[in-house]
Amino acid sequence: MKDKIVLIVGGSGGIGSATAKRIAKEGAKVILAARNKLKAEEVAKHINDSGGEAFAIQVDATNQNSVANMAQEIEENLGKIDVLINAFGKGIIKPFMDIDPKDAKEIIDVNVYGTFLVTQTVMKHMNTDEPTNVVFFPGTMGKYVMKNASVYSASKFAIQGFVKALIEEQRRGKTKYSLFYLGGVDTAFWDDDRVDMKVKKEMMLTPEEVAEAVYYGVNQPSGSVMNEVVIQPESHQLV
């Protein structure tokens, strides 16, 4: 990973920031893209103070101009991107009839359209001379179903379908695509009022555990790819 250019969209906290710190230890140049640039700058400072190399940039994953400007700025200042990690997203866990349609639209816009937009745009600015990686986090709700997760599961199943179709389309290319189906991870996701679940965070995966798995996935030898992996907390319990 040394000197590889790694873009983490959603890099200001949780899985994104933990992954940035882990990959930066291997000598990669890490770009933390997020709506909240101040938080991304805090993570970048931590990495830089620890001897790594990191940069923060503001982006709205659902805004075409914002995403295009981000990708262009990275290429102009640092070079072609080697790894894209889509670590952003929003959630809603509520009974179907209680979901505000505005909230449903926001979830679909961010999780589905945002993932499509970021991936398509950034791929135009990726290294074409060496193997590259694109990482997605559909979560276990993108593989299994659970009550009160109708909209959230719909958005995550969409990511699975999108990526699997993309793999078929790009099979002869040099880009490796990885889907991480994660169980409960101890992040700010659970603090959103729209996530109506009682959870025990101490029984969840930590962002650092996920980061280790992501690093392993993007650091596979050139002849192999980790397309899909399911990672659950040892307890398998969320409530």
Q: Which residues participate in catalysis according to the annotation?
A: 152
Sequence-distant (≥ 6) Cβ neighbours of residue 211 within 8 angstroms:
15, 18, 19, 21, 22, 23
**How many residues appear in the chain?**
239
Which amino acid is residue 211, in one-letter code? A
* Structure tokens given for 86: 């889509």
Q: Phi and psi dihedrals of 119, rounded to 5?
A: -65, -50
Strand partners, 53: 29
In sequence order, the 6+-apart residues with CB closer than 8 A to the CB of 112 are 155, 158, 159, 162
CA distances from 177 to 17, 38, 75, 220, 227 (A): 20, 30, 21, 12, 6
Which 3 state secondary structure label does DSSP give 173? coil
Neighbouring C-alpha atoms within 13 Å toward the C-beta of 23? 35
- What region does 173 belong to: left with phi over 0, alpha with psi -120 to 50, or beta? beta
